[in-house]
Structure 1
Amino acid sequence: MSSPGDLPDAELVPKKRWRIPWIWVVPALAVLIGIWLAVQTVLQKGPVVTITFKTGEGLEAGKTKIKFKDVDIGIVKSVALSKDYTRVVATAELTRDAANMLVDDTRFWVVRPRVAGGSVSGISTLLSGAYIGMDIGRHKNVQRDYVGLETPPVFASDVPGRRFVLRSPDLGSIDVGAPVYFRRLQVGQVTSFELDKDGSGVTLNVFINSPYDRYVNADSRFWQASGLDVTLSTEGLKVNTQSLVSMLIGGLAFETPAVSLSWAQAPADTSFTLFQTRSEALRVQERIVEHYVFNFTGSVRGLSIGAPVEFRGIPIGEVSAINTRFDPATGRISIPVEVKLYPERFTSRFASGPKGGRMVSDPKALADMLVAHGLRAQLRTGSLLTGQLYVALEFFPTAKKATVDWSRTPPELPTTPSGLDSLQDSINRIMTRIDKLPIEQLTASAQQTLDNTSRLMQNLNTEVVPQAATTLMAARAALDAAHSTLLPGSGLQQDTTEAIRELTRTAASFRSLADYLQEHPEALLRGKPEDKK
Structure 2
Amino acid sequence: MKSTEQARRGKARRISSIWLVPAVALAIGVWMAYDTVASRGPLVTLEMNTAEGIEAGKTLIKVKEVAVGRVESVGLSDDFSRAKVSARMFDGTEAMLNEESNFWVVKPRIGRDGISGLNTLLSGAYIELSPGNGDQEQRYFTTLSQPPVLRAREKGVSIVLQSLESNSLNPGDPVLYRGYTVGRVESADFAIEAQQSVYKLFIEDPFAELVTEQVRFWSSSGVQLELGSEGFRFDIGSLESLIAGGVSFDIVGNQPPGQRVSDGTEFQLFRSQGAARQEGFTQYANFLLYLDESVRGLSSGAPVEFRGIRVGTVIEVPYTGEHQLGSSLMNMKVPVLIRFEPERLGPQFSAVTIQDWQQQLHSLFEEGLRASLRSGNLLTGALYVDLNFHPNEPLLIAESAGDFPVFPTVRGGSGQLDQKVGELLDNVNTIDFGQFAATSEDTLRAIQQFATQLESLAADPDMQALPATLRQTLDELDRMMAGYSTDAPAYNDLSRAIERLDHILSNLEPFAESVRDKPSSLFFNSPLPADPEPRSEQ
TM-score, scaled relative to structure 1: 0.55
Matched with 1:341 is 340
Q: Distance in 2 between matches of 1:386 and 1:424?
A: 13
Distance apart, 1:225 and its partner CA: 5.7
1:156 aligns with 2:151: yes
Matched with 1:136 is 131
CA contact (8 A) 1:302 1:387 kept: yes
Q: Distance in 1 between matches of 2:373 and 2:78?
A: 65
**1:208 equivalent among 204, 209, 214:** 204
**2:377 equivalent among 364, 374, 383:** 383
Distance apart, 1:125 and its partner CA: 3.6
Cα 1:207–1:371, aligned 2, differ >3 Å: closer, same or farther? same
Q: Distance in 2 between matches of 1:49 and 1:237?
A: 60
Q: Given residue 383 of structure 1, which amino acid in structure 2 is its aligned partner?
A: N
Q: Distance in 1 between matches of 2:210 and 2:418?
A: 56
Q: Given residue 302 of structure 2, which amino acid in structure 1 is its aligned partner?
A: A
1:190 aligns with 2:152: no
Q: Distance in 2 between matches of 1:426 and 1:59?
A: 76
1:321 aligns with 2:316: yes
Residue 377 of structure 2 aligns to a residue whose secondary structure is coil
Residue 133 of structure 2 aligns to a residue whose secondary structure is coil
CA contact (8 A) 2:154 2:204 kept: no
1:331-350 CA-to-partner distances (Å, cap 9, x unmatched) read 57864433333244589x99
CA contact (8 A) 1:58 1:131 kept: no
1:29-75 CA-to-partner distances (Å, cap 9, x unmatched) read xxx9999999888766644545566x437375847653322325243
Within 5 A, what are the aligned runs for 1:503-522?
A: none
Residue 97 of structure 1 aligns to a residue whose secondary structure is coil
1:70-125 CA-to-partner distances (Å, cap 9, x unmatched) read 32524374565697x9x847454341533221122212233232222232112234
Residue 327 of structure 1 aligns to a residue whose secondary structure is helix
1:310 aligns with 2:309: no
Matched with 2:514 is none
Residue 196 of structure 2 aligns to a residue whose secondary structure is coil
Give RMSD over aligned pairs. Answer: 5.2
Distance apart, 1:311 and its partner CA: 2.4
Cα 1:360–1:291, aligned 2, differ >3 Å: closer, same or farther? closer
Distance apart, 1:135 and its partner CA: 0.6
Structure 2: gaps spanning 5 or more residues: 1-26, 423-538
Matched with 2:109 is 114
Q: Given residue 66 of structure 1, which amino acid in structure 2 is its aligned partner?
A: I
Q: Distance in 1 between matches of 2:421 and 2:238?
A: 53
CA contact (8 A) 2:46 2:140 kept: yes
Structure 1: gaps spanning 5 or more residues: 1-31, 351-356, 429-533
Distance apart, 1:390 and its partner CA: 1.8
1:292 aligns with 2:287: yes
Distance apart, 1:385 and its partner CA: 2.8
CA contact (8 A) 1:116 1:177 kept: no
CA contact (8 A) 1:374 1:399 kept: yes
Q: Distance in 2 between matches of 1:281 and 1:328?
A: 34
Q: Distance in 1 between matches of 2:345 and 2:405?
A: 17
Cα 1:328–1:175, aligned 2, differ >3 Å: closer, same or farther? closer
CA contact (8 A) 1:378 1:392 kept: yes
Matched with 2:412 is 418
Matched with 2:397 is 403
1:102 aligns with 2:101: no
CA contact (8 A) 1:404 1:414 kept: yes
Cα 1:315–1:420, aligned 2, differ >3 Å: closer, same or farther? closer
1:268-299 CA-to-partner distances (Å, cap 9, x unmatched) read 45444555666766679323133333344543
Within 5 A, what are the aligned runs for 1:22-33?
A: none
Matched with 2:426 is none
Cα 1:165–1:45, aligned 2, differ >3 Å: closer, same or farther? same
Q: Given residue 285 of structure 1, which amino acid in structure 2 is its aligned partner?
A: G
Q: Distance in 2 between matches of 1:179 and 1:361?
A: 43
Q: Distance in 2 between matches of 1:89 and 1:219?
A: 50
Matched with 1:124 is 119
Q: Distance in 1 between matches of 2:136 and 2:299?
A: 54
1:6-38 CA-to-partner distances (Å, cap 9, x unmatched) read xxxxxxxxxxxxxxxxxxxxxxxxxx9999999
Q: Distance in 2 between matches of 1:358 and 1:191?
A: 40
**2:87 equivalent among 88, 93, 109:** 93
Q: Given residue 387 of structure 2, which amino acid in structure 1 is its aligned partner?
A: L
**1:75 equivalent among 53, 71, 75:** 71
Matched with 1:468 is none
Q: Given residue 336 of structure 2, which amino acid in structure 1 is its aligned partner?
A: V
CA contact (8 A) 2:60 2:68 kept: yes
Question: Structure 1 stretch 290-299 or stretch 314-323: which is displaced more?
Answer: 290-299
CA contact (8 A) 2:306 2:387 kept: yes
CA contact (8 A) 2:171 2:188 kept: no
TM-score, scaled relative to structure 2: 0.55
Q: Given residue 300 of structure 2, which amino acid in structure 1 is its aligned partner?
A: I
Q: Given residue 153 of structure 1, which amino acid in structure 2 is its aligned partner?
A: P
Cα 1:295–1:201, aligned 2, differ >3 Å: closer, same or farther? farther
Distance apart, 1:410 and its partner CA: 4.1
Q: Distance in 1 between matches of 2:339 and 2:251?
A: 25
Cα 1:386–1:328, aligned 2, differ >3 Å: closer, same or farther? closer
Cα 1:73–1:292, aligned 2, differ >3 Å: closer, same or farther? farther
Distance apart, 1:204 and its partner CA: 4.6
Distance apart, 1:187 and its partner CA: 5.2
Within 5 A, what are the aligned runs for 1:440-451?
A: none
Cα 1:158–1:297, aligned 2, differ >3 Å: closer, same or farther? same
1:146-185 CA-to-partner distances (Å, cap 9, x unmatched) read 454343124433444444445556676866545555565x
Question: Structure 1 stretch 93-102 or stretch 123-132: which is displaced more?
Answer: 123-132
Q: Distance in 2 between matches of 1:97 and 1:151?
A: 27
Q: Distance in 2 between matches of 1:410 and 1:76?
A: 76
Within 5 A, what are the aligned runs for 1:449-464?
A: none
Q: Distance in 1 between matches of 2:292 and 2:240?
A: 48
Cα 1:301–1:203, aligned 2, differ >3 Å: closer, same or farther? farther
